[in-house]
């Protein structure tokens, strides 16, 4: 699943880190799937290098991943280590943490993760469009749209505006290396996306002036695409009844209080308007590939315990699929469509080990690892 690719890793930054080693060891901060992918590339390019993983999750300390030990941040030293941050969502937080330990950005610690696969926003847009009534162009025409959690690029925003949305607001709580409104640093990504939009959807971003050059630099149209960052879905900076459509993709598993987040979406939607969401309520630590980790490992803990771990490591929340359904209903949403997209079969042994608060739900519902929905605010409130 996780494979080294220059669409996701900044090769220039990686080579800068290699040049800065000067006898230091490589430290890959983030003992998970992307860390494993980067480790394989480091072993290929610099096979003699000393490498360790570092992670804020204390349950990983003293263990091994892909033949490499996992240590805690207390064992790092800027004179002996060069740190590569392999986390996407926690990159800013880890950078600040390392600076407090004496590391310097782009000197002894480096952020190398990025999101430059033009097919990614295309897939996300097409996933959303699968819930639209009719074709995307007629559905989006003239709509005021909010997209929560764009990640490292504004490709979905371009596609929404290109299909006729009047204006697309984008809200992000992390930086992810986002560029706005000048996107020259990600020129190759946006040009590739523009080519794909022409070939797959017959939409020309340049003809519609969503993308244009100003003084030789590629820019986005700030009149139709607006970025607010940093901002939280739990306190949306918009007036009540502002939007015709709210979209979010793999965001609500990270929201500390998803019920509050759904309540804010309900508030900013116009009466009769809807929201489309994709949620991945599983233990993301399982991506590290450790033998005793499974996608629902975190359900073995009481919620208070998981909240302490999550706050320490910037991990996701512990809300399961049936809880998300309850949160939506509690805010007053009507469920128009619901799709369970991936499911984990829970064995009797795993079920017996879950905290009692989770065993009150149906086993089949708890096993849902990915779901999507279209929920509507009633026409009259």
User: What global pTM score does this model have?
Assistant: 0.86
Determine what percent of the chain is predicted with pLDDT higher than 70: 96
Q: Where does the pLDDT of residue 93 fall: very low under 50, low under 70, confident under 90, or very high at 90 and above?
A: confident
- The predicted structure's pLDDT at residue 314: 64
In the predicted model, is pLDDT for residue 165 greater than 90?
yes
Q: Where does the pLDDT of residue 1 fall: very low under 50, low under 70, confident under 90, or very high at 90 and above?
A: very low
Q: What is the rounded average pLDDT of the residues 271-276? A: 98
Q: Which residues pair with 85 in a beta bridge?
A: 29, 111
| CA nearest neighbour of 242 among 373, 145, 133 | 145
Q: What is the rounded average pLDDT of the residues 145-159? A: 95
Alpha carbon distances (Å) from 333 to 159, 255, 262: 27, 18, 9
Q: Which two tokens stand for residue 184?
A: 């020259």
Structural element, H or E, at residue 110:
strand 109-111
What CA–CA distance (Å, rounded) separates 274 from 202? 26
pLDDT digits (tens, 9 = 90+) for 60-85: 899 999 899 999 999 999 999 999 99
- The predicted structure's pLDDT at residue 222: 97
Q: Which residues pair with 338 in a beta bridge?
A: 373
- The predicted structure's pLDDT at residue 214: 96
- The predicted structure's pLDDT at residue 206: 98
In the block, residue with structure tokens 């937080």? 93
Alpha carbon distances (Å) from 110 to 196, 201, 373: 31, 37, 37
379 burial (CB, 10 Å; 0-12 / 13-18 / 19+) is: exposed
pLDDT digits (tens, 9 = 90+) for 253-263: 999 999 999 99
Q: Which residues pair with 211 in a beta bridge?
A: 220
In the predicted model, is pLDDT for residue 144 greater than 80?
yes
Contact 86, 39 (CB under 8 A): no
Q: What is the dihedral of CA 175, 178, 180, 186, to 10 degrees?
A: 160
- Largest interatomic CA distance in the chain: 67
Higher-scoring residue by pLDDT: 10, 25:
25
Q: Which two tokens stand for residue 235?
A: 């306190």
In the predicted model, is pLDDT for residue 152 greater than 90?
no
- The predicted structure's pLDDT at residue 49: 86
The length of the chain is 381
Q: Where does the pLDDT of residue 272 fall: very low under 50, low under 70, confident under 90, or very high at 90 and above?
A: very high
**What integer best gives the mean pLDDT of the chain?**
91
In the predicted model, is pLDDT for residue 336 greater than 50?
yes
pLDDT digits (tens, 9 = 90+) for 107-135: 888 888 876 788 999 999 999 999 999 89
| CA nearest neighbour of 78 among 56, 51, 105, 41 | 105
Alpha carbon distances (Å) from 220 to 118, 154, 251: 16, 9, 24
End-to-end CA distance of the chain: 44
| CA nearest neighbour of 14 among 1, 31, 34, 2 | 34
User: Which are the contacts of 304, defined by CB distance < 8 A and separation ≥ 6?
Assistant: none
Q: Which two tokens stand for residue 99?
A: 């600076």
Higher-scoring residue by pLDDT: 145, 5:
145
Give me the half-sphere count of Cα atoms (radius 13 Å) on the Cβ side of residue 178.
Answer: 25
In the predicted model, is pLDDT for residue 176 greater than 60?
yes
Q: What is the rounded average pLDDT of the residues 242-256? A: 96
Q: Where does the pLDDT of residue 5 fall: very low under 50, low under 70, confident under 90, or very high at 90 and above?
A: low
What CA–CA distance (Å, rounded) separates 111 from 92? 9
Q: Which domains does the chain have, with CATH numbers?
A: 11-111 (3.40.50.20)
DSSP string, 155-223: HHHHHHHHTT-SEEEEE-SS-TT---SB-GGGHHHHHHHHHHHHHHH---TTTTTSEEEETTEEEE-TT
């Amino acid at each position: 699943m996780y494979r080294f690719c220059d669409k996701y890793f900044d090769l220039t930054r990686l080579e800068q880190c290699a040049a800065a080693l000067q006898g230091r060891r490589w430290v890959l901060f983030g003992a998970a799937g992307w860390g494993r992918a980067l480790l394989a590339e480091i072993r290929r390019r610099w096979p003699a290098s000393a490498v360790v993983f570092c992670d804020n999750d204390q349950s990983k300390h003293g263990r091994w991943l892909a033949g490499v030990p996992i240590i805690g941040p207390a064992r790092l030293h800027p004179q002996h280590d060069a740190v590569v941050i392999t986390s996407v969502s926690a990159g800013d937080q880890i950078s600040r943490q390392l600076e407090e330990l004496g590391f310097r950005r782009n000197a002894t610690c480096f952020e190398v993760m990025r999101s430059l696969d033009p097919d990614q926003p295309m897939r996300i847009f097409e996933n959303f469009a699968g819930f639209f009534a009719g074709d995307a162009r007629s559905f989006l025409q003239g709509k005021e749209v909010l997209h929560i959690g764009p990640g490292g690029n504004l490709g979905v925003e371009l596609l929404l505006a290109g299909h006729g949305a009047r204006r697309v607001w984008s809200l992000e709580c992390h930086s992810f290396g986002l560029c706005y409104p000048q996107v020259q640093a990600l020129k190759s990504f946006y040009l590739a996306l523009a080519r794909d939009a022409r070939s797959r959807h017959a939409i020309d971003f340049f003809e519609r002036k969503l993308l244009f050059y100003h003084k030789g630099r590629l820019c986005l149209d700030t009149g139709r695409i607006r970025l607010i960052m940093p901002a939280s879905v739990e306190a949306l900076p918009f007036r009540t009844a502002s939007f015709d459509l709210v979209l979010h993709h793999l965001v609500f598993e990270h929201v500390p209080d998803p019920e509050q987040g759904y309540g804010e979406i309900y508030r900013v939607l116009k009466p009769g308007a809807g929201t489309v969401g994709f949620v991945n309520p599983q233990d993301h630590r399982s991506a590290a590939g450790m033998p005793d980790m499974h996608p629902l490992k975190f359900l073995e803990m009481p919620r208070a315990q998981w909240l302490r771990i999550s706050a320490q490591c910037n991990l996701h929340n512990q809300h399961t699929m049936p809880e998300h359904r309850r949160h939506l209903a509690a805010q007053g949403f009507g469920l128009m469509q619901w799709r369970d997209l991936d499911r984990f079969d829970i064995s009797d042994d795993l079920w017996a080990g879950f905290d009692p608060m989770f065993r009150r739900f149906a086993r089949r519902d708890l096993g849902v690892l990915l779901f999507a929905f279209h929920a509507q605010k009633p026409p009259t409130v």
